Amino acid sequence: MADERLIAALDFHRMEDVERLVTALGDSVSYYKVGMELFYSVGAQVVTWLRQQGKDVFLDLKLHDIPNTAAGGICSLMRLGATMLNIHASGGYTMMKTTAERMHAEAEKMGIPCPKLIAVTVLTSINQDDWEGMGQALQIKGAVVRLAKLAKKAGLDGVVASAQEAALIREACGEDFLIVTPGIRPAGCDVNDQSRVVTPARALSDGATQLVIGRPIYAAVDPKHAALQILEEMEKVK
Instruction: Identify the CA nearest to 35 among candidates 77, 65, 97.
Output: 77
Q: Where are the alpha helices (DSSP H) in the chain?
A: 15-25, 36-42, 45-52, 67-78, 93-110, 128-133, 140-153, 166-173, 200-205, 215-218, 223-235
| The predicted structure's pLDDT at residue 187 | 63
- Residues forming the active site: 62
Q: Where are the alpha helices (DSSP H) in 89-197?
A: 93-110, 128-133, 140-153, 166-173
pTM of the complete model: 0.93
| The predicted structure's pLDDT at residue 199 | 87
Which amino acid, 184? Answer: I
Q: At what angle do helices 45-52 and 15-25 cross, to 10 degrees?
A: 20
| The predicted structure's pLDDT at residue 125 | 86
CB 230 within 8 A of CB 186: yes
CA 62, 66, 72, 75 dihedral sign is positive
| The predicted structure's pLDDT at residue 99 | 98
pLDDT tens, N- to C-terminus, the chain (238 residues): 569 999 999 999 999 999 999 999 999 999 999 999 999 999 999 999 999 999 999 999 999 999 999 999 999 999 999 999 999 999 999 999 999 999 999 999 999 999 999 999 999 888 889 999 999 988 999 999 999 999 999 999 999 999 889 999 999 999 999 999 998 888 655 544 444 467 899 999 999 999 999 999 999 999 999 999 999 999 988 7
Could you tell me the domains of the chain? 6-235 (3.20.20.70)
| The predicted structure's pLDDT at residue 191 | 45
* C-alpha atoms less than 13 angstroms from C-alpha of 92 in its C-beta half-sphere: 6
Helix, strand or coil, per DSSP, at residue 216: helix
CB 121 within 8 A of CB 149: no
Cα-Cα-Cα-Cα torsion 47, 51, 56, 59, nearest 10 degrees, comes to 10
| The predicted structure's pLDDT at residue 185 | 81
* C-alpha atoms less than 13 angstroms from C-alpha of 24 in its C-beta half-sphere: 20
Instruction: Identify the CA nearest to 160 among candidates 143, 148, 172.
Output: 148
Exposed/middle/buried for residue 44 (C-beta within 10 Å: 0-12, 13-18, 19+): middle
| The predicted structure's pLDDT at residue 192 | 47
Exposed/middle/buried for residue 179 (C-beta within 10 Å: 0-12, 13-18, 19+): buried
Number of other residues whose CB lies within 10 A of the CB of residue 131: 17
Q: How far apart are CA 156 and CA 170, in angstroms?
A: 15
| The predicted structure's pLDDT at residue 186 | 81
